[in-house]
Chains A and B, each alone.
Chain A
């Protein structure tokens, strides 16, 4: 900007601030008074109170009688799980469809276009309900489960995978296995005889897998017992429907981002690479995608943030995420509307800020590597 703001404008901004504070105070006092009429004071002390409800699906142990604070944690983890799966699937699917959009095959190109148009122009809520009601609920009941290879069962209650039961050695062997996987990217760059070790570091993966397998005692196969399938790990259809809805929807947007980013990499780059004798697929993976990545990161970040926020639509298909439980059961049992909504918004806001901070950091890194 050319001109500096006048002193009058500088003074006026404090008036604006005062007005905002005054409005906030007014609203707060009305809310306090309303709560007062309803025999309650505003406060978060109730988080330490015991609850009396069950959370049908959770990642960490939960029992009726645990505190509201723990219920919040369980819900946050459920939300994060759905969001994380959706982000991974949406990215892969979006990348695939984005590349399909640029295919030389007319059929493939137009199917990708049709997918994008259909998905982008219908409401996400309708899509999630569609996956849940019209697709997943046509699967057979538990007694007529579809048997898949490796002891996997599929029915209307979900996908049942064999689970792994660890033995005593697992505690000793699994952490180093994880550590090996974590150090792999760093080993990749370690110079050895003048070059980075590179792809040879991939040898660490089988080592890690062997360590992991050595720690397994036996596998638990799912089987029908009583009403339900018992044993194994159950992937509930609510989670599948939510993740399908979120990732298929976002993938359409990501595909367009990918397409635009690939097109933005100059044509000369491609021609130069081809003339060096690289194969078309190598050109895509070695020349075009790395450069397109730099353009893609900021818009894809906002797609990721959308996925996290839209995970609250899980409420429509009974997935026990934050909105469903914390603005539902927990709110009704504690009768604390204002506190629940503040917590709900606070959690989403913090998750979003953390993710965008991380993606900004990543963006800076990508931008530095590619000059």
Chain B
């Protein structure tokens, strides 16, 4: 009881702090981002992530969060607070994610979530950028000899509830006049187990999650991805609350910085060496040696250098979790544009 009272008192205090900081920000008439101010005041970023899915966000045996989405959270904290470890992770199920973001409990939601029209408009959420391109992929047993999604007519597919996947299947069924049956799970672990046991003929999710699902199968080699995807391209990315442009901008440029790092060939290993020796103006701007690119975002000028040093570029992060060191998913669309992928970044000018 007392703890709850302490909690309530803390909430009251937090409210006062938020109100006060808003007031101060207004008085100084500087960059107006209540979220960034609140994070700085708090000294940590509150990042909403998946409750656990290999690739995007999972806990290693030491209990540390790992994954592509987690690396993004760490990069944001690194840029804003100067340390990648100043993050509080909140594991969210697909059902609760958006209301938790709307309530202000988390600063940013990076939870393998598809950016959609309705989420942007009806839910009033900002979708600053993309961090993973994928499409709804089906994973089936090789022994079923399925080559095309239409061949799944009559099959049962396991998937998670509270996602866009169900709508896609319903649409696909209607468009092709077939019937793909679904089995809806609340949490991935039971869904994976059901697919593995043969309760369903296959599993569907975005490409990255399906790769994660395959990695949890008893014999991953027995499973294949159907090359055809449904529901079109599914870009995943971070969500923020609409109305705090300064904050959304930072979230966007942190992702841009990881892409830019890869385009410039700057890696965790060579960043210090490049910083000392480079004469390339682009790299110099990126590493904070020229220009005032940090200040304009509301952080210091070393922000992108820190990301490169502590987190690495996008390619490194991808490789660690989805690439050869992780789930073994080819880069494909998730490469930078110069290598045939979809990732571009606005210029560092």
Chain A positions near chain B (C-beta within 8 angstroms): 34, 37-40, 52-54, 56, 64, 129, 132-133, 137-142, 156-157, 225-228, 237-238, 315-318, 320, 324-325, 327-329, 331-333, 335, 337
Contacts and interface: CB of A to CB of B under 8 A. Distances in A.
A156 B158 CA distance: 14
A246 to B, nearest CB: 17
Given A53-B166, A54-B166, A227-B156, A328 B184 contact: yes
Nearest to B243: A37
B257 to A, nearest CB: 31
B193 interface: yes
A318 B193 contact: no
11 contacts: A38-B122, A54-B181, A56-B183, A137-B199, A227-B155, A228-B154, A318-B190, A318-B194, A320-B184, A332-B162, A335-B118
Contacts of A129: 190
A64 B173 contact: yes
Interface string B305-323: 0000000000000000000
A137 B183 CA distance: 15
Contact of A56 (B184, B186, B187): B184
A183 B265 CA distance: 85
A53 B162 CA distance: 11
A318 B184 contact: yes
A315 B187 CA distance: 9
Name, among B99, B161, B171, B174, the residue most crowded by chain A CB atoms within 10 Å (CB to CB).
B161
Contacts of B47: none
Given A133-B193, A335-B122, A52 B95 contact: no
A318 to B, nearest CB: 5
B274 interface: no
Nearest to A338: B99
B169 interface: yes
A64 B170 contact: yes
Interface string B130-165: 000000000000001000000011111010011100
Name, among B122, B144, B174, B194, the residue most crowded by chain A CB atoms within 10 Å (CB to CB).
B194
B296 to A, nearest CB: 29
Contact of A156 (B153, B191, B198): B198
B29 interface: no
Interface residues of B, number: 43
Contacts of A157: 156, 198-199
B124 A329 contact: no
B184 A325 contact: yes
A138 B121 CA distance: 45
A64 B174 contact: yes
A332 B163 contact: yes
A137 B197 contact: yes
A225 to B, nearest CB: 8
A327 B196 CA distance: 27
B185 interface: yes
A141 B162 contact: no
Given A53-B166, A64-B170, 9 more contacts: A53-B170, A56-B183, A157-B198, A157-B199, A228-B156, A315-B186, A318-B186, A332-B162, A337-B99
B160 to A, nearest CB: 9
B142 to A, nearest CB: 14
Contacts of A238: 183
Given A38-B102, A133-B193, A335-B122, A52 B170 contact: yes
Contacts of A335: 98, 118, 122-123
Given A39-B121, A133-B193, A332-B163, A324 B184 contact: yes
B170 A318 contact: no
B182 interface: yes
A328 B190 contact: no
A56 B95 contact: no
B167 interface: yes
A228 B155 contact: yes
A315 B144 CA distance: 28
B201 interface: yes
A53 B161 CA distance: 10
A326 to B, nearest CB: 11
A370 to B, nearest CB: 46
Contacts of B194: 132, 137, 318
10 A-B pairs with least C-beta separation: A137-B197, A328-B161, A141-B198, A227-B155, A332-B162, A226-B154, A53-B166, A318-B185, A315-B186, A64-B170
B199 A156 contact: yes
A59 B155 CA distance: 20
Contact of B166 (A39, A140, A327, A329): A329
Given A156-B197, A156-B198, A38 B170 contact: no
Nearest to A317: B190
B155 A40 contact: no
Nearest to B152: A227
Contact of B161 (A133, A228, A329): A329
A232 to B, nearest CB: 15
Given A54-B166, A133-B190, A318-B194, A39 B122 contact: yes
A320 B186 CA distance: 10
Contacts of B182: 54, 56
